[in-house]
Amino acid sequence: MPRYRLTLEYDGAPFVGFQRQNNGPSVQGALEDAIEKLSAQRVTVMAAGRTDAGVHALAQVVHFDLEKTYVAEKVRDALNFHLRPNPVSVLDAVVAAPDFHARFQARGRHYLYRILCRTAPPAIDRGRVWHVMHDLDWQAMHRAAQVLVGHHDFTTFRATNCQAKSPMKTLDRLAVEPAGAEIHIHADARSFLHHQVRSMVGSLKLVGEGKWDEARLAAALAARDRTACGPVAPAEGLYLTAVDY
């Protein structure tokens, strides 16, 4: 039974998240429907990460098994045909090793958060950036972000319904940089807690506004208390950009 590995790109706006749910359309559901149309087989797709409602992906990795063997390029092209009109694209398909696992073998996950700083609202990028109507001090945000890099208890930046067994995570990189009218925040780690990136971004925005400083962010981390977190950034600015194996 061959195992297929796909790399996906998708717009998260119309979905309740990657994971199949009863309250609306999901990326997983759309993909599994497309696979069934190709193979007449109902499968369960496993993903590197379960992105939330509204979160986008530039390179999500998934795997699934089929009873029949197909040329990988046919799987890619057929799934792209059957996925229409969903905003999901199979960028790449390969036959993987029988023991490959998209989630458990992932060694690193990379996220990008986009903040648009201008008075006028976005038109082309509506639903794809966090629109902030004033400038933010990206340099202050970057300096403060380094407080969060390393191995810490991230309870403050963890959703109350997070199912991870431990709040301890190692954040390898948290970088803030300008990109024209936007501010880009890059977060790299082996794995993240539920809402961790959006929670960190929301607190960093307060730093960019001059409402918080590095010491305040450090105190919020040390508090290990969800109520010490700033407002959580909206999902629409977040992208899963790459997964390492």
Q: Are 176 and 94 in contact (CB under 8 A)?
A: no
Structure tokens at 86: 């969903």
Catalytic residue from among 52, 153, 172, 244: 52
Equal CATH topology for 3-96 and 108-244: yes
Neighbouring CB atoms inside 10 A of 112's CB total 18
Q: Looking at the predicted structure, is the pLDDT value of residue 163 above 90?
A: no
Q: Which of the four pLDDT bands, split at 50, 70 and 90, describes residue 215?
A: very high
Maximum C-alpha span of the chain: 59
Q: What is the pLDDT of residues 221-231, one digit of tens each?
A: 999 999 999 99
Q: Looking at the predicted structure, is the pLDDT value of residue 34 above 90?
A: yes
Residue of 196, 171, 169, 201 lying closest to 185 (CA atoms)? 201
Residue of 88, 113, 105, 103 lying closest to 8 (CA atoms)? 88
pLDDT at position 46 is: 97
Q: Is residue 65 flagged as an active site residue?
A: no
Top CATH class of 3-96 equals alpha beta
Q: Are 233 and 157 in contact (CB under 8 A)?
A: no
Q: What is the pLDDT of residues 92-141, one digit of tens each?
A: 999 999 999 999 999 999 999 999 999 999 999 999 999 999 999 999 99
Strands 88-96 and 108-117: unpaired
Q: Which sequence spans correspond to the domains of the chain?
A: 3-96, 108-244
CA distance 113 to 55: 10
Average pLDDT, stretch 39-56? Answer: 96
Mean pLDDT over the full length of the chain: 97
Task: Kindly state the percentage of the chain with pLDDT values over 70.
Answer: 100
Q: Which of 32-36, 106-110, 123-127, 162-166 has the lowest average pLDDT?
A: 162-166
Q: What is the pLDDT of residues 57-82, one digit of tens each?
A: 999 999 999 999 999 999 999 999 99
pLDDT at position 1 is: 87
Residue of 56, 49, 48, 51 lying closest to 13 (CA atoms)? 56
Q: Which of 86-90, 162-166, 232-236 has the lowest average pLDDT?
A: 162-166
Q: If one looks up domain 108-244 in CATH, what number appears?
A: 3.30.70.660
pLDDT at position 134 is: 97
CA distance 235 to 37: 31
Task: Kindly state the percentage of the chain with pLDDT values over 90.
Answer: 96
Q: Are 66 and 2 in contact (CB under 8 A)?
A: yes
Q: What is the pLDDT of residues 186-205, one digit of tens each?
A: 999 999 999 999 999 999 99
